Each structure stands twice: as C-alpha cells, then as structure tokens.
Amino acid sequence: MAPLDADSLWLILCAALVGLLPIGLLAVELGDSRPAGIRTAPVRVGTDLVVAVLLTWLFGFSWVHGPSLAGLVGLAPGPVDLGGAGASWRASLATWHGLGVGAAVVIAGAGGSERARPVCSLLTAALVAGVILPLTGHWLHGGRPDGIPVGWLARLGVIDHGNAIAVHVAAGAAGLALTAALGPRRGRYDGLGRPRRRPVRANAMQVIGGGLVVLGSLGLVAGGRFGWRAEVPGAILVGLLAAAAGVAGGLVARRVGRLPTHPVRAGRLGAVAGLVSVSAAALLGGPAWGAATGFIGGGLAVLADHHLLHRGFDDPVGVGSAHLVGGLWAAVAAAFAVDAPGLPLRIAIQLLGGLAVAGTAGLLTHGVLALIDRWVPLRVTPFSEEFGSGELTVVERG
C-alpha cells in the first residue's frame, strides 16, 4: 500500500474544512427562519449535498478536469478514475471538489429559503451541480495533466485560485435567480412594497453559522489544485485578516449609511464577504492587500444587502450580497494583487471572468425555473409556507 503524499493529505484536510460551509449556512438559515422553515431546511441541505456528491462523482469532476472542446465544454469520460499513477491525488482532489460543489449547491438553494417546494430544491441542486458548475468550472480551472490551462477563461489569464468566481459567484448568481423566480417570503413586505422590520431571532445561530462559513471558505482558499505550498500559510493569514476587516467594513457601512440592517447580520455578511473578497488571489496578495480588500468587500456586501432587499429580493442568508457581490469584488481585487504592469487589462479580464460566470449561472437558473414553473408550481402554498405541511415537512411516524 503506497504512502499518502503531503499534497493529497493537505487536500483531504481542506476538504474537511469545506464541509463546514454547508453546516454554517444551515445554522444561519435556521437562525432567521420561521418554524416551518426550521423543520425543512436540514432536509433540503442534506439532499443538496447528496445530489452534489453523486453528480460530481458520475461526471462533474471529469467535465471540469477532463479533455476540452475548444475550452468551452469539458468532455466527460465518466466517473472519477481511481486507478493508475496519481490515484491518491485524483481521489483527494475529487473529494475536495465534491464538497466544494456541495457548498455551492447549498448556497444557491438558500435563495429559496422557506418557500421552495422539494421539486424546486432538487431541480436547483441538479442544475447547479450537474450543469452550471461543470461548465463554468471548466472555463476557469480546466487543465491538461501537464498543467497547461484549457478553459477559455483560464487561457485569458483569469485568476481564481481560491474559487471566488467558480463557487461563490456561480452559486450566488444561481441563488439570487432562485430568489427572483420564487418571489419574497409571505409577509416580508407591506402593502406599499416596503420591507417590514422582522423580529431579531437566534443571534447565536447567526454568529456560529457565519464563523463556520468563514472556516469552510478557508478550505476553498487553502486547497485547490495546488496542494501544500509555501504560500499556503500566508494565504490563510490573509483570509483571516480579510474576514476580520470585513466585519469592520460591514459595520462601518451600516453606520455611515444609516442602514436599518441588524448589527449581527451586518457583521456576519461582512465576515463572509471579506473572506470571499480575497479568495481569488489570497496566494498572491499580502496582509495589507487582504485587510483593505476585505474591508471594502464587507462594506459592499452590507450596502448590496440593503439595496437588494428594497428592490424585492428577499434573501435571508445573504446569497446575493455576501457571495455574488463579494465574489465579483474578489475578481476585480485579484488584479491588484499582482505586482506587474498592465493593471487596466488585468481588471478587464478579471471582470469579464466574473460577469461571464455570473451571467451564465443566473440566466440559466432563472430561465429553467421560469420555464418549468409554467407546468409544475415551484413555490409552496401560502398555508404551507406559514405553518408547514406534508409537502414541506418530514416527520417520523411509528
């Protein structure tokens, strides 16, 4: 039996960290849900993870990392191959990849919190794990065994070491599209379309969940196709600094903008968005860059959260603000982490990468859901949303 190399071992440890991200998102959602949502969210999150892991093993991983058709679409040879040379590395990478896809699916699914029927949640999970992430992931991270990039965005030079674009932007755009397709939760707005102030629920769950999301996102930053490298400890430090600065940025934005956002929510959004903001280039940027980028990202997330809510996007977890906006800012900020001439061109390339992934994920999700909703209702009934019923609630009988 061959010994496990350091790169494979490190990737397995990072995969374990990534597994905390869906748990954190579940805790955040439970901390801001009514009783019906509290009963159904764990079932949805568990189902999302099952769908993500199975589809990744069957073809998703191969589509991303396999042969390419002109850098646009991966040509999937089938399930993950665990034979031959480099089997331990492929198995470790597939494990990390599968949990990363699971995290993305849970992020996207949170956009339909409390109001998506099970068929809607399953459809969204399959669409994100089986189509969107394999497609856009190939654009960003598709490569030959010799390390030469083959995806069209990778060949352009788009930087996305920690999957800010591949995971957070794609999942955030899909989740926001789901939010738009289903509409706001019942009672969230008054007769004039103004958001109602909601009672503060479980703040402890919000804080714990936000912390777990940050730790899980660190697993995406420190893992990837690079394994253990000398730059990894520095990237982890940059990520932690960015998360802390993001909390400060979120609270400052709330204070300066005189926003009604609860301070716990502002701090949680700031922490997550701060770390997401440096994910694309944490291996390249220094601590000062990380702190400044995280501070700006946290402030942008809180401002975006307020404006999205006032434009009809009822997003309890902050999928659009922390993940989509934070990821798009990460794409742009990565251009500043490279100490070389050509900054305007790098910004344009990075922005192109972020917008291409966001547009693809958002339009595909909204288009497919809107089409299917014509024949199969994707939103629960008002009574089920408020009180729960057989279509939302799973109970044990015996």
Quick: pLDDT tens for 71-125: 888 886 678 777 666 678 788 888 999 999 999 999 999 988 888 888 999 999 9
The confidence score (pLDDT) of residue 120 equals 92
Contact (CB, 8 A) for 377 and 117:
yes
Q: Classify residue 394: in a domain, yes or no.
A: no
> What domain range is 148 assigned to?
6-375
> How far does the chain reach from its first CA to its final CA, in angstroms?
47
The least confident of 8-12, 200-204, 328-332 is 200-204
**Residue closest to 56 by CA, chosen among 80, 92, 20, 88:** 80
Q: Classify residue 380: in a domain, yes or no.
A: no
pLDDT-based confidence at 388, cuts 50/70/90?
Answer: low
Q: Classify residue 390: in a domain, yes or no.
A: no
181-224 pLDDT tens trace: 988 887 777 777 777 776 656 678 888 999 999 999 999 998 86
For residue 15, pLDDT over 70 is answered with yes
Q: Classify residue 357: in a domain, yes or no.
A: yes
Q: Classify residue 10: in a domain, yes or no.
A: yes
Q: Classify residue 61: in a domain, yes or no.
A: yes
CA 200 to chain centre: 25
Q: Classify residue 392: in a domain, yes or no.
A: no
CATH number of the domain where residue 333 is located: 1.10.3430.10
Number of domains in the chain: 1
The confidence score (pLDDT) of residue 271 equals 96
**Residue closest to 95 by CA, chosen among 221, 3, 8, 4:** 8
DSSP assignments along 24-88, one per residue: HHHHHHHTT--HHHHHHHHHHHHHHHHHHHHHIIIIIHHHHHS-EETTTEE---SSPP--STTHH
Which residue would you say has higher pLDDT here, 148 or 234? Answer: 234
* CA distance linking residue 291 with residue 272, whole number of Å: 13
The confidence score (pLDDT) of residue 123 equals 94
Q: Classify residue 94: in a domain, yes or no.
A: yes
Angle, in degrees to the nearest 10, between helices 6-18 and 203-222? 160
The mean pLDDT value for 278-301 works out to 94
